[in-house]
Amino acid sequence: MPILAPAMRQYALVTGNYWAFTLTDGALRMLVVLHFHQLGYGALQIAMLFLFYEIFGVITNLVGGWLGARIGLNRTMNIGLCLQIGALLMLAVPTAWLTVPLVMVAQALSGIAKDLNKMSAKSSVKLLVPDDSQGTLYRWVAALTGSKNALKGVGFFLGGVLLTALAFRGAVLTMAAALALVWVCSLLLLKRDLGKATAKPKFRELFSKSRAINLLSAARLFLFGARDVWFVVALPVFLATSLGWEHWQVGAFLALWIIGYGVVQAFAPRITGRGSARLPDGRAALAWAAVLAVVPAVMAVLLWRGESAQPVLIAGLAVFGVLFAINSSLHSYLIVSYAREDGVSLDVGFYYMANAMGRLVGTLLSGWIYQAQGLAACLAASALMVGLAALVSIALPRHAPDLATR
């Protein structure tokens, strides 16, 4: 451990920046959903506000991995922080100026910023752990992913509280000021060119040539589409309209869900066999996805049968959150394990491009399906997408690939 201490200190700074960014990202998501619902926007219209956020997330993950390999992960992290500040300031205008095009452009900047930060943080882990310490790698990836999602949940709650206390403009200005302080500290303290490839990668190397990573990326696309098809727009709108919850109650509920989800992610290595020295592979990804698919399917059937929505949602989402967290943590470990060490951000960026594509599809379907058929149909679509993730996982390697042959 003493050998890793300098790298650990550097990574702690990267992680701290990632945490600060995550708070503003979660809060901004909740602010936009609740504020524009309050202004009279429908579910599909709200979903469209996030269209550029998700589209540019797809592009950023693909190009950002190449950029990180060329200029270093610390620089991509700082660029992300700066862009998020700009996005928040763009939204700090009088309500009459908050047109759909303006909000979509601001969300595009925020999407770029978020995925630059995530790619930078996730790629860094690979460089800090020796290849023969896969158990340590799994634990570190799980801890990073879990803590990030817990803080995103806090951000959801923060967004609801700030909207209630400061209104929309005051909330985004407050977050911009706080993030600006973090950005200045980051510029002063992050000095190491972590993640630069030894040879400058060419632009044509953006797309992965690894079968394992391509399969895992496809499974990730369906997995995160399955979450966002009900979580991004349909659920908060349903809670506010059909169940009559206040804004702060919606924010608090979704925050608690995300926090619990993050805690489970952090402990996923214990749940999936760390005690018996087993590490997850393709079989684990298949098994956990298959179990997850059952939950939204059962919830959809119960809602269609006319069961009381509130207990179905609260109980069902608790189970879904635990199982989804384990699936997500397994995937996050597998991509870092499969990725090449030299130019790791290229593989990780490609994988999270698929993740962003899944979120994009899920977000659009969330607004469209909810407006046309309701929440139960969104949950049925979620079950179908998780099932597709399980089918893809059948072909994943049963053990980590030999990196020397890649």
Domain spans of the chain, in order of start: 2-194+208-405
What does 39-87 look like in DSSP terms, one character per residue? TT--HHHHHHHTHHHHHHHHHHHHHHHHHHHHH-HHHHHHHHHHHHHHH
Q: Which positions ≥6 away from 6 have C-beta within 8 Å?
A: none
As a whole number of angstroms, the distance between CA 339 and CA 171 comes to 39
Question: How many other C-beta atoms can be found within 10 angstroms of the C-beta atom of residue 63?
Answer: 17
pLDDT on residue 276:
44
As a whole number of angstroms, the distance between CA 220 and CA 101 comes to 30
Question: How many other C-beta atoms can be found within 10 angstroms of the C-beta atom of residue 22?
Answer: 24
Question: How many other C-beta atoms can be found within 10 angstroms of the C-beta atom of residue 276?
Answer: 6
Looking at residue 112, its amino acid is I
As a whole number of angstroms, the distance between CA 55 and CA 112 comes to 9
As a whole number of angstroms, the distance between CA 71 and CA 367 comes to 38
pLDDT on residue 287:
92
As a whole number of angstroms, the distance between CA 375 and CA 379 comes to 6
Q: Which positions ≥6 away from 206 have C-beta within 8 Å?
A: 62, 63, 65, 66, 346, 349, 350
For 243, phi then psi, to 5°, come to -100, -10
Q: pTM of whole model > 0.85?
A: no
Question: How many other C-beta atoms can be found within 10 angstroms of the C-beta atom of residue 40?
Answer: 7
User: How far, rounded to the nearest angstrom, does the alpha carbon of residue 405 sit from its chain's CA centroid?
Assistant: 31
First to last CA, the chain: 29
- Yes or no: say if 116 and 79 are a contact pair by the CB < 8 Å rule: yes
3-state DSSP helix/strand/coil % of the chain, to nearest 5: 85, 0, 15
pLDDT on residue 267:
81
pLDDT on residue 101:
86
- Yes or no: say if 216 and 396 are a contact pair by the CB < 8 Å rule: yes
As a whole number of angstroms, the distance between CA 127 and CA 339 comes to 11
Listed in sequence order, the DSSP H helices in 129-206 are 134-189
As a whole number of angstroms, the distance between CA 99 and CA 104 comes to 9
Q: Per-block average pLDDT, block size 10, for the chain (406 residues)?
A: 55 77 88 83 78 81 74 82 93 84 89 83 66 66 72 82 88 93 83 58 58 88 93 86 83 82 80 61 89 96 93 92 90 78 67 85 88 92 96 82 39
pLDDT on residue 387:
96
- Yes or no: say if 92 and 172 are a contact pair by the CB < 8 Å rule: yes
Query: What is the topology classification, in CATH, of domain 2-194+208-405?
Result: Growth Hormone; Chain: A; (1.20.1250)
pLDDT on residue 193:
62
As a whole number of angstroms, the distance between CA 299 and CA 315 comes to 9
pLDDT on residue 3:
43
Q: Which positions ≥6 away from 132 have C-beta within 8 Å?
A: none
Closest CA to 87 of 74, 76, 71, 102: 102
- Yes or no: say if 130 and 140 are a contact pair by the CB < 8 Å rule: no
Closest CA to 392 of 215, 224, 223: 215
